[in-house]
Amino acid sequence: MNTDSPSCLVQKLSHYVALDEHSLDSISRLERDERDFSKNDEIYQGGDENTYLYVVKRGWLYSYADMKDGRRQITEIHHPGDIVGFPDIAFDQRTSVLRAAEDVRLCPFPKKDLDEVFSQAPQLAALLFALSVRNQVILTDFLRAVGRMSARERIAYLLLDLRSRLRIANKSMTTTFRLPLNQTEISDVLGLTNVYVSRSFAALEKDGMIRRSNGHVEILEEEKLAKICDFVDRHVGLDTSWFPPSNG
């Protein structure tokens, strides 16, 4: 692990539990190697051999699936502190494409290294399992938003969800966060056209709920924004009562 800067993964996971020595040692091994990728690089393709997972150290990425007619659906957005690849663990081939939304730094580690996590760091294994299961509930919430909400409500939901996720690994974050996704990428997340995305952002700004400036979004009326899209923050809390005892 690069000791010159704090680990985003440690910062994120420490929000939920006080990590024990075995967990910290395991994270250090997972973050041992670093690789840089440029904006729009595709780290892997659907169908590639599935042998590595990645800790995100810097920058944003997203996973997506292509459709036969050329359209795509962005299925997940990845931030610093995330581990990319958990949904594919049960498969020997990749099920989606991973692309860098901007210049990124990743720490690749072999999938087989998870055996050491489960055998030597049970606290960390339980936490990663819990977060993976929780993400299924978050995905259900997102499907409800995309399937049943208006364009304006979907944008509101996405902004609140992104800000909530980012705050877990960045305690100093206020009501403003950086949004490096372009309009087309946001469209592919929410299943909207570029026109609807543009109009919805403009409507939320006109209503005084958000402000955009130089690639940043400021949430001005969080309660009102949450009310219009029925947002429930699933990121902030986690039941750890069933976790194994810390190993010091």
Each residue's pLDDT tens digit, 24-56: 999 999 999 999 999 999 999 999 999 999 999
CA distance 166 to 186: 17
Which tens digits make up the pLDDT trace of 114-172?
999 999 999 999 999 999 999 999 999 999 999 999 999 999 999 999 999 999 999 88
In a domain, 27, yes or no: yes
> What's the whole-number mean pLDDT along residues 92-96?
97
Residue ranges making up the domain that contains 92: 9-135
Answer whether 106's CB lies under 8 Å from 42's CB: no
Q: Give me the pLDDT at residue 38, please.
A: 99
pLDDT score recorded for residue 5: 60
Task: Output the CA torsion 193→165→77→133 (10° steps).
Answer: -110
pLDDT at 246: 80
- Selected residue with higher pLDDT from 1 and 121: 121
Flag whether 120 is in a domain.
yes
Domain assignment present for residue 36? The answer is yes
Given a contact cutoff of 8 angstroms between Cβ atoms, the answer to whether 158 and 186 are in contact is yes
**Beta strand pairing status for 97-100 and 104-110?**
unpaired
Asked if 161 and 155 count as a contact pair (C-beta separation under 8 A), the reply is no
Q: Answer whether residue 188 is part of any domain.
A: no
The 3-state secondary structure of the chain reads CCCCCCCHHHHHHCCCCCCCHHHHHHHHHHCCCCEEECCCCEEECCCCECCEEEEEEECCEEEEEECCCCCEEEEEEECCCCEECHHHCCCCECCCEEEECCCEEEEEEEHHHHHHHHHHCHHHHHHHHHHHHHHHHHHHHHHHHHHHCCHHHHHHHHHHHHHHHHHHHCCCCCCEEECCCCHHHHHHHHCCCHHHHHHHHHHHHHCCCEEEECCEEEECCHHHHHHHHCCCCCCCCCCCCCCCCCCC
- φ, ψ of residue 70 to 5 degrees: the values are 100, -15
Instruction: Tell whether 214 is covered by a domain.
Output: no
Indicate the average pLDDT of the chain. 95
Tell me, yes or no, whether 128 lies in a domain. Answer: yes
Sign of CA dihedral 96, 201, 60, 103: positive
Give the residue among 82, 96, 74, 87 at the shortest CA–CA distance from 13: 82
**Segment 215-225 mean pLDDT:** 97
CATH number at residue 39: 2.60.120.10
In a domain, 191, yes or no: no
Domain count, the chain: 1
pLDDT band, residue 248 (cuts 50/70/90): low
Please indicate, yes or no, if residue 213 is contained in any of the structural domains: no
Q: What are the C-alpha distances in Å from 13 to residues 152, 172, 225?
A: 32, 16, 27
pLDDT (mean) for 172-194:
96
